[in-house]
Structure 1
Amino acid sequence: MNSKRIHAGYFTLPSRLVIYLQFAFLVLAFMLPANPAFAQARIIARQQQVIDSLNRVLSSQKAESMQALKVKFDSLRKKKFIIDTLLQTVYMQQGLIAQAEESRRMSQLAFESKENKYIFSLVATFIVLLLIFAAVLYYILKQNTRKSELIMKQKKLVEENQKEMVDSINYAQRIQKALLKEEERITMHLPDHFILYMPKDAVSGDFYWALDKDGYFYIAAVDCTGHGVPGGFMSMLGVAFLNEITAGSNTLSPNIILNKLRDKVLKELGKTGETKDGMDISLMRMNLSTRKIQWSGANNSLYLIKNEIKVIPADKQPIGYYPVMKPFTNHIIAAEPDSMYYLYSDGYASQFGGPRGRKFKSTQLKKLLLSIHQKSLKEQKQILRETFMKWKGKLEQVDDVLIIGVKV
């Protein structure tokens, strides 16, 4: 049920209390005497008491309401303080978050700016290096072009000079071949023979020389100083000198020919030790009727093989300058049937090769000649060539090779 409220100042009285008070006033009115003034006074007094009671009640309720309001106000104030504190905390946190976000944004911007600067620096450095590399590459290409042009000019000049040199060497080779008689022509008066001639280069410093004169047959194996073109020139001089020496009417012994040859070499090339030009020679003369043999040698000996090998020693001096020059010795040899004579240069024994890359040496050459001397000269020549090539292997040939085998 709804109840009405009476407002008194700040306070509100329930409508049921007002009804109770009115009822009380009526009861008092009946109970009071009939004197109207007295009754009226008593009513007023009662009313005043009721009002005072009501005022006390109202004051008490007002105090309680005020206290409640104060408590409520204090509670609200505390809540407000808490809320304000929370709001301040929130605001502070939001501020800190905003500051952190701003700091992060500024850091990000700074990082991006730094990164951009770093990237820009890298790009700029790369571009500069690329430009430098391009400039250097251009300079190198330009220099290489110039060098290539210069090399091509030099190559062309070298090729021209080389062609002239090769032509000269080939011409010298043709001259040397013209001076060297064919093997068949040299040995057509001999019972049997072979000539193993293996030049190191196109032009050789070794040469063989032969002469058929007044019933005598001369044959020589000659080793000139050097090989190639220098040796070739020396060989042509040697052929010319030998032809000039033997051109007279006299029949000369081998040692006389060597003495005269040395005199010509010293006269034309020098008589002092300043020049080492000269030659080593093994020269044999055979009487075509009696088969008697004379021989003389300068540094290169003669191998004579019957059943054993015999070395006819040469004079230890060259055809050229020597500190102590003596006349060459003439050796007279009684020829034995089926005997072999070997004239040679030092090229075969000087060749490096074999399993250890050592020289072949004269000792091994003598053993080889002794082992093959009874074979046909064609087989001997083949065996000597094959043995030399096998010994040399892939190594370079070190000198000209010349071996002449004569069977009496």
Structure 2
Amino acid sequence: MMRRYAYSYSEGDARLSTPVDSRQGGIMSRHLGLGVKSLLIPLLSFLVALVPVLWIGSHALQDVERHFGQRFAEQYSQLHTQRMLTPLSTELALARRFGDLTVTREWLSDIDNEERKARFFAESEGFRQQFDGDDYFVVHHDSRQFYFNDGKMSPSRAPRNQLSRSDSEDSWYFRMMDSGAPTRVQVAYSPALDITRVWINVRVDGENGPLGMVGGGLNFNRLLASSFDDQPLGVASFLLGREGRVLAMAEDGELQATDLSQVDEGGGVLDAAVEDPEALAEMLASARESGGEVETRTLEWSGEERVVAVSYMPELDWWLVSAVDPYAATLLEKRWLWPLMFALVASLGVVLLVVVIALRRLIVNPMRRLSQSAQALAQGRYDTRLDSDRGDEIGDLSRDFQRMADQVQAHTEELEERIRQRTMDLTLANRQMSEAKRQIDDSLDCARVLQQAILPSRDMQRCAGLRHGVLWSPKDTVGGDIFVFRDFGHDRGYLLGVIDCAGHGVPGALMTMLARAAFDNSVNQVGPENPAGILEEMDRRIRRTLEADSEAHGVTPHMDAGLVWVGADQQQLTFSGAKLDLYATDGQRLEVLAGGRRALAFKRRGEFTNQTLALVPGWSCTLCSDGFLDQAGGEHGFGFGRRRFEAMLLEHAELDPRAQVAAFLDALACFQGEAHQRDDITLLCFQPAVEDEQDGTASATSNIHHGHDEEVPWTS
């Protein structure tokens, strides 16, 4: 705290008089003295140093865990691959011995010889008991007879089935025989036997060609259980068959095998779990080409980082994919880290103690003595001498009392310089903000052009037999309203409508892109003659698109829509709407075809129905978004309203559609007055040319308006 003193001079001597500050007791009061600060500052320094040390140590530990995770994933994949191949190798060797038996070849060479048949079945019983699945099969090539025995069924020497090339369930046999492969291992579900096995198929050849096939099956579930009985937490393993199909998965100590009797070609794929399916496909291909080497890589797996190891089993044409969470799996014992952490904290504590003692001896105690001397001077004891003959900073402090004013001036000039620098920085920031605003405006202009590109203005102009007018006025530079049109030729008809997406501005414009894509795909899927079907398909596609993304739950996907199909005969139109109505009038009568009560993609699904209306010469049809009806104005600031809108339609029904739109715009501007536009506005007025009016010359021109930067809305 800086004190104010009064100075008196006599005979050239300057003497310090009594201080003018009357708060004498405040000199002795302190909130935090140097003694406390000498402890707090080293302690704070200790904590500041401890934070980066802990941060670096934690990241180093994560790197170590990631390294151990890669090694663990590689060794885990190798171990379980061998555990799976060992019983398969044993079973394959046993099946080959079975096929190489003399009795097997003799009987298959002469299948009607009862003596050979008896010897074969007597010998095969011993092999059946040695096979893991407690079963075996034999196929005679010429007769296509299939023999099968296991420990459950009654033993039989008669064929269980006869294979046929025309039967898709028997294609496994003919594919192997045609390929000429001596052995093949495959996992499959046999509908005829109602069992799932890992089948070991061994081809048996004679001197004059193939004799048939023998083999046995391993219990698929038991093979998986014995291979993954030690599945640890934090590790997910997937067994993939041909084409990357999932045959089984083990995760969090639970094993799930694919029900091959219910899934065509066996299991799903891992694309849903892997953020980068292409990277996983590269690993699968590389593992197959490497001939047994384990491929490891860090991938995004179900939204989290995982160490993925892939090993290939050429005997089966299978892959084993293991995804290891290096932070969940117990890969590194952390108990040995605690002594190291304790030693680090103890060392820093000793350093803290040494710093505190040094600060007290070198700074705190001399400053306390200096403070006592300054208090003595303030109390009038002028014989007190300041400790100014020290050769350190404290001595300099005693001598610098007289130069305090110069220091204050220097600090003032420094502050002024800082202010000038801050002013320059603010000026530069302002220019940068202006440039950023310009870039944003340019981006919005580009978005406006892109949104105009999806408006079907030119297609409507080129459609012979259609007179139309369009009012399209976004609230901002871009908006959430669009109109759609598809011409399917003079021999079929055309489809047109209005779509009002929730929101306006950039979010609304993006929703219009989604709406246009859903409309085009739905028309291609359903056909133009069924507007209600198109709305239902759009509703399904929009829900599927937004509900599939977990980040899209905060998006409001509601869309009001009205679609009209006019056939080539021009005798009637078909309408269906979602919270949008179709108005038809000749100036005397007004027909209103009401749309469904719920919007597209609403929380509760709506029902959409087709309504037909006969086309009469001189009648005008109008589709309008709710922005027109809800526009505030008038004396009390209420919305334009449905009654005023219907009266306006009746009043101007005798005009052509383009003139009607101009009249509607004048009526809206008069009602709106000085009020701001509340929402995007789209109005589509059209008169289908019935047979006695078609002359092939009906057309319209199009102009684009944006309510954000022009005074007159866009009409066509």
What is the TM-score when the length of structure 2 is the normalising length?
0.36
Report the equivalent of 1:312: 593
CA–CA distance in 1 between the matches of 2:643 and 2:415? Answer: 59
Q: Which residue of 502, 509, 514 maps to 1:232?
A: 509
Change (3 A) 1:341 1:250: closer
Q: How far apart, in 2, do the equivalents of 1:303 and 1:249 lie? A: 25
CA distance in 2, matches of 1:228, 1:248: 30
Aligned residue for 2:680? 400
> 1:365 offset after TM fit, Å?
1.0
Contact 1:342 1:404 in 2 (8 A): yes
| Greater shift in the superposed pair: 328-337 or 156-165 | 156-165
Q: Conserved in 2, the CA contact under 8 Å of 1:273 and 1:322?
A: no
Q: Which amino acid aligns with 1:322?
A: K
2:468 pairs with 184, 193, 205, which one?
193
Aligned partner letter, 1:158: M
The CA distance in 2 between the partners of 1:384 and 1:140, in whole Å, is 64
**Which structure 2 segments of 5+ residues have no match?**
1-408, 689-716
Q: State the shift of 1:162 in Å.
A: 2.1
Preserved CA contact (<8 Å) 1:265 1:278:
no
Question: Which residue number in structure 1 is paired with residue 23 of structure 2?
Answer: none
Does structure 2 conserve the Cα–Cα contact (< 8 Å) formed by 1:183 and 1:195?
no
Query: For residues 108-187 of structure 1, what are the structure 2 equivalents within 5 Å?
Result: 145=420, 148-182=423-457, 185-186=460-461
Residues 334, 159 of structure 1: alpha-carbon distance in 2 compared, 3 angstrom cutoff = same
Native 8 Å contact 1:273 1:321 kept in 2: no
In the TM superposition, 1:6-155 aligns within 5 A as 145=420, 148-155=423-430
1:209 aligns to what? 484
* Preserved CA contact (<8 Å) 1:284 1:296: yes
**Percentage identity across aligned positions?**
23
Change in 2 beyond 3 A, CA 1:166/1:240? same
Can you list the C-alpha shifts for 1:72-107, whole angstroms capped at 9, x where unaligned?
xxxxxxxxxxxxxxxxxxxxxxxxxxxxxxxxxxxx
Q: d(CA) in 1 for partners of 2:507 and 2:474?
A: 13
Q: Secondary structure at the match of 1:194?
A: strand
Deviation (angstroms), 1:348: 1.0
> 2 CA distance for matches of 1:269 and 1:309?
38
Name the counterpart of 2:582.
Answer: 302
Relative distance call for 1:140 and 1:177 in structure 2 (3 A) is: farther
CA change 1:389–1:250 in 2 (3 A) is closer
Change (3 A) 1:161 1:293: same
* Structure 1 position 249, deviation (Å): 8.3
2:612 to 332, 339, 345: 332
Count matched residues.
274
The SS at the match of 1:247 is helix
Distance 1:406 1:380 in 2: 10
Contact residue 300 and residue 344 of structure 1 kept, 8 A: yes
How big is each residue's C-alpha offset from its partner over 1:316-347, in whole Å with a ceiling of 9 and x where there is no partner? 11111323x13311112222221111111011
Paired position in structure 2 for 1:364: 644
In structure 1, how many angstroms separate the alpha carbons of the residues matched to 2:494 and 2:422?
A: 61
TM-superposed CA distance for 1:282, in Å, is 1.0
One-letter amino acid matched to 2:476: D
Give the distance between the partners of 2:611 and 2:470, measured in 1 at CA.
Answer: 23
Which of these two proteins has the greater Rg computed from alpha carbons?
A: 1
Distance apart, 1:278 and its partner CA? 2.5
Is 1:281 matched with 2:561?
yes
Would the aligned equivalents of 1:187 and 1:193 in 2 still touch at CA under 8 Å? no
Alignment CA distance shift 1:164-1:257 (3 Å)? same
Give the Cα–Cα distance (whole angstroms) in 1 for the partners of residues 414 and 648 of structure 2: 64
Q: Which residue of 530, 535, 539 maps to 1:258?
A: 535
Q: Choose from 599, 605, 623 the match for 1:343.
A: 623
1:117 equivalent in structure 2: none
Equivalent position of 1:33 in the other structure = none
Structure 1: distance between partners of 2:579 and 2:510: 21
Q: Check conservation: 1:350, 1:360, Cα contact below 8 A.
A: yes
Q: Mean Cα displacement is larger for which, 166-175 or 252-261?
A: 166-175
The two structures, once aligned, show a CA RMSD in angstroms of 2.8
In the alignment, what sits opposite 2:520? 243
Q: Is the 8 A contact 2:497 2:623 kept in 1?
A: yes
Shift of the 338–190 alpha-carbon distance from structure 1 to 2, 3 Å rule, reads same
| Equivalent residue letter for 2:602 | Y
For the Cα contact (< 8 Å) 2:502–2:557, is it kept in 1?
Answer: yes
Whether 1:322 and 2:322 are equivalent positions in the alignment is: no
Write the deviation string for residues 257-287 of structure 1: whole angstroms up to 9, x where unpaired.
Answer: 0001011111111279754223111110101
Structure 2: distance between partners of 1:365 and 1:187: 30
Residue in 2 that maps onto 1:379: 659
Inter-partner Cα distance in structure 2 for 1:208 and 1:180? 7
Which stretch of the first structure deviates more once superposed, 211-220 or 259-268?
211-220
Match of 1:292 among 543, 567, 572: 572
TM, length-normalised to structure 1: 0.61
- Does structure 1 residue 389 correspond to structure 2 residue 669? yes
Range moving further from structure 2, 164-173 or 362-371: 164-173
SS in 2 for 1:320: coil
Residue 140 of structure 1, CA deviation: 9.7
What letter corresponds to residue 351 of structure 1 in structure 2? Answer: Q
User: Which amino acid is 1:355 matched to?
Assistant: E
Alpha-carbon spacing, 1:148–1:319, altered in 2? closer, same or farther (3 Å): farther
Once residues 639 and 622 of structure 2 are traced to their aligned partners in structure 1, the CA distance between those partners, rounded to angstroms, is 20
Which of 496, 510, 515 aligns to 1:219? It is: 496
Question: Contact conserved, 2:571 with 2:615, CA < 8 A, in 1?
Answer: yes
Residue by residue over 1:107-126, the C-alpha shift from the partner in whole angstroms, topping out at 9 and shown as x without a partner, is: xxxxxxxxxxxxxxxxxxxx
Shift of 1:256: 0.4
2:134 matched residue in structure 1? none
1:41-73 residue CA offsets vs partner (Å, 9 max, x unmatched): xxxxxxxxxxxxxxxxxxxxxxxxxxxxxxxxx
**SS of residue in 2 equivalent to 1:405:** strand
> Which amino acid letter does the alignment assign opposite residue 523 of structure 2?
T
Distance 2:462 2:415 in 1: 66
Give the AA of the match of 2:435.
E
Contact 1:191 1:407 in 2 (8 A): yes
Unaligned runs of 5+ in 1: 1-133
Residue number in structure 2 paired with 1:268: 545
For residue 376 of structure 1, report the CA deviation from its aligned partner: 2.5
1:197 and 1:401 in contact (8 A); partners too: yes
Provide the secondary structure at the position in 2 that maps to 1:399: coil
1:353 maps to amino acid = G
By how many angstroms is 1:144 displaced? 6.3
Greater RCO, CA 8 A, separation 6+: 1
Q: What SS does structure 2 have at the residue aligned with 1:341?
A: strand
How far apart, CA to CA, are the structure 1 residues paired with 2:630 and 2:553? 25
